[in-house]
Amino acid sequence: MVDTDVQSRIHELRELINRYNHEYHVLQQPTIPDAEWDRLFHELKRLEDENPDFITADSPTQTVGAAPSEAFEQVRHEAPMLSLSNVFSREGLNEWIARVRRFAGRDELEFTVEPKIDGVAASLVYRNGVFDRGATRGDGMVGENVTANMRTIRDLPRTLTSPNGPIPEVLEVRGEVYMRRSEFDLMNEAREEAALPRFANPRNAASGALRQLDARITAERPLRIFAYGIGMVVGQIPFKHSDTLALIRALGVPTPPDTGVYSDADELWAACEAWLEWRADLDYEIDGVVIKVNDTRLYPEIGTVAREPRWATAFKFPASQGVTVIEDIEINVGRTGSLNPLAHLKPVEIGGVTIRRATLHNQDEIRRLAVKIGDTVVVERAGDVIPKIVSVVEENRTGDEHDFIWPEHCPVCGSTVERVEGEALSYCVNASCPAQLREQISHFVSRGAMDIEGLGTKLARRFVDDGLIRSFADIYRLNWEPIVEMEGLGEKSVENLKRSIENSKQRPLARLLFGLGIRHVGQQTADLIAAHFGSTDAIAKATQDEIAAVPGVGKVIAQSLSDWNAEERNQLLLNDLKQLGLRTEIDESERQSTTPTEWTGLTVVLTGRLETLSRGDAEGLLKKAGARTSSSVSRKTDLVIVGDDAGSKADKARDYGVETIDEQEFLRRMKMDTD
């Protein structure tokens, strides 16, 4: 780019970012996702880094947030509330560590890793242990006085609990005000019942609640706080950040859980990755982790640039949201006959993946989002699941959008569509709807079920469409003549397919049960039912009450399975499958103890090498006893079995106070003593 182009792009980016900052911080109505803001901000930063002459003091890169609203009394922060630099990869983190080491003038350094809570930054001043003033960050120098609102925060103590030593005379705790996902959902449900608009996400809701002019409204919103540091202090505090967090906790202010201290770069990275893995299971939203130098005495030496300290950085998780346009809405008919609306999107890249479709779940969701075809929407990608539509960017409406009309008939077979009472889904009533059959077959042959290699979704559909497969049993009595002639199927692949169909007959009963695709019978439930009843014959005879009495199986599942049992064609199918040689009974060795044991429901982690058992055998024993195994240690872990040469998982368990036992003790508890 030539200089004038660069300058005008810089100008354009600044205007955009200022506008979005205002929408976010002052109006509390962001119109773009965070990831888009990050992208613009980084582009501006890069251009300014490459052209330092163009940097001006009012550039958003040189200021933090937006100016405070005039509706609140202004509060000058004694120490500025800083922002954080970002890294996005392991390389970025390593470069940051190298820079910190250089500025600190030493290689041995300790770092802390904390979750980066996605909420609103807050400053809480305690005088002589009593909560005195609460403020927002504002532009980092001047914030808004929101003391009355902060007093309504559920877990914010009005007075600090005295730890062993004296409480500092003045202590400014800094942290993030946020909402738990579960409480946010409950609040939204209540709002919906009261015909009030739902909030888009916990962060916006928290931000809006904190800046209410009437604290009674704030009090109705489930705000919480996590403290992550301190600002101004008059008195003594520890020099290590981790000790300060422990002090804050001891004083009664909640701090983020699972904060750890690391001096090794590999372990530090492992901790960042662990948070990425936990992210989806947390009851609060995080958009990354924050890494800080633990020894605060080094901070002046390491320094701060443009309101970002060099001694801390945020490892931002891959973007999970993007903005695009809904080009069409299509209805897919699932294997249970459910009508699943799917949005066709203008392709958009989110976190390195091109997204073309997103689920709209059901009719209620379309109504809730008030989404129209042609709308600009925010799309979210969470883990491996199909992306979902989060919200509509209403201000982008041109008037050309149109409503999606929910079908009264199945789009595949034309049969009536019915909505089951108490459920959000509508179903095609035709049990032999070809769309259902196609989906049922591809589920039956899938990995978690009968795992028939070579019979993928495409081929399974082709067999259904050609009339070769009309039921699960047909897979085992295929007429191979037309198949051998099929285009694209070589002799070898046909031979392989025959073999894998034959092999699949040996899949355990639980897999078969799961493969049948009975509504609400997932993998875990299938395991429980197979282990309890032991055979398809016993399952077929079981009454609804008997099914509901199986530990871990609820009323809804019992109802669904007994409805399935009641259909004659399903009984004929089970009979057919038995005649065809599938495993319709379990081996004695697969029988799971159905009476609860001391292991029932426990989450157990195995680490290190065991002497008398293989990892697989140990996991098998645990599963049979009713425990669940997991590969990583968290606070939710109940027990860690530690073998030889165990690594960080054992240490982590001890840090968390999770019980650890050795192999001997494990065998003893399993009542399998070898001597």
Alpha helices in 445-543 (DSSP H): 457-465, 480-485, 491-504, 509-515, 523-533, 536-541
Give whichever of 41 and 131 is closer to ligand IVH, judged by the CB atom: 41
Sheet strands (E) in 77-157: 85-87, 111-117, 120-127, 130-136, 142-144
Give whichever of 83 and 338 is closer to ligand IVH, judged by the CB atom: 83
Q: Which residues between 233 and 262 bind ligand IVH (CB under 6 A)?
A: 256
Please state the closest distance from residue 124 (CB atom) to ligand IVH, in A.
13
Please state the closest distance from residue 268 (CB atom) to ligand IVH, in A.
15
The CB-nearest residue to ligand IVH is 121
Give whichever of 293 and 441 is closer to ligand IVH, judged by the CB atom: 293
Q: Which two tokens stand for residue 342?
A: 């799917």
Q: Which amino acid does the sequence have at 291? A: I
Please state the closest distance from residue 337 (CB atom) to ligand IVH, in A.
45
Q: Which residues between 60 and 99 bind ligand IVH (CB under 6 A)?
A: 82-84
Question: Is residue 593 helix, strand or coil?
Answer: coil
Give me the residues paired with residue 122 across strands: 136, 175
Q: How many Cα atoms are found within 13 Å in the side-chain-facing hemisphere of 100?
A: 27
Which of 14, 45, 116, 241 is close enough to bind ligand IVH by CB under 6 A? 116
Give whichever of 83 and 584 is closer to ligand IVH, judged by the CB atom: 83
Q: Does 229 bind ligand IVH (CB under 6 A)?
A: yes
116 is catalytic: yes
x/- map, 148-177, ligand IVH, by CB under 6 A: ----------------------------x-
Q: Does 121 bind ligand IVH (CB under 6 A)?
A: yes
Q: In the sheet where 659-661 sits, what is the strand order?
A: 628-630, 603-607, 639-642, 659-661
Q: In the sheet where 286-293 sits, what is the strand order?
A: 85-87, 312-316, 286-293, 111-117, 260-262
Please state the closest distance from residue 114 (CB atom) to ligand IVH, in A.
4
What is the Cα–Cα distance from 250 to 100, expressed in whole angstroms? 30
Whether 574 and 601 have beta carbons less than 8 Å apart is answered as: no
Q: How many Cα atoms are found within 13 Å in the side-chain-facing hemisphere of 340?
A: 18
Whether 431 and 337 have beta carbons less than 8 Å apart is answered as: yes
Which of 87, 93, 117, 640 is close enough to bind ligand IVH by CB under 6 A? 117
Give whichever of 296 and 436 is closer to ligand IVH, judged by the CB atom: 296
Q: Does 271 bind ligand IVH (CB under 6 A)?
A: no
Give whichever of 129 and 256 is closer to ligand IVH, judged by the CB atom: 256
Please state the closest distance from residue 129 (CB atom) to ligand IVH, in A.
24
Contacts of 195 (CB under 8 A, 6+ apart): none
Please state the closest distance from residue 409 (CB atom) to ligand IVH, in A.
50
Q: Does 114 bind ligand IVH (CB under 6 A)?
A: yes
Active-site entry in 45, 116, 316, 652:
116
**Binding residues for ligand IVH, how many (CB under 6 A)?**
16
First to last CA, the chain: 78
Please state the closest distance from residue 122 (CB atom) to ligand IVH, in A.
8
What is the Cα–Cα distance from 471 to 517, expressed in whole angstroms? 12
What is the Cα–Cα distance from 261 to 296, expressed in whole angstroms? 14
Helix axes 34-50, 3-21, angle to 10 degrees: 150
Q: Does 223 bind ligand IVH (CB under 6 A)?
A: no
Q: Which two tokens stand for residue 187?
A: 């609040």
Which of 80, 92, 309, 454 is close enough to bind ligand IVH by CB under 6 A? 309
Give whichever of 226 and 444 is closer to ligand IVH, judged by the CB atom: 226
Q: Which two tokens stand for residue 109?
A: 């350094």
Contacts of 360 (CB under 8 A, 6+ apart): 329, 341, 342, 343, 366, 369, 371, 388, 389
Please state the closest distance from residue 283 (CB atom) to ligand IVH, in A.
15
Helix axes 90-104, 265-278, angle to 10 degrees: 140
Q: Does 228 bind ligand IVH (CB under 6 A)?
A: yes
Give whichever of 23 and 451 is closer to ligand IVH, judged by the CB atom: 23
Stretch that binds ligand IVH, among 37-45, 309-317, 328-336, 621-629 (CB under 6 A): 309-317
Which active-site residues does the annotation give? 116
Which stretches of the chain bind ligand IVH, using CB under 6 A? Answer: 82-84, 114, 116-117, 121, 137, 176, 228-229, 256, 290, 309, 312, 314
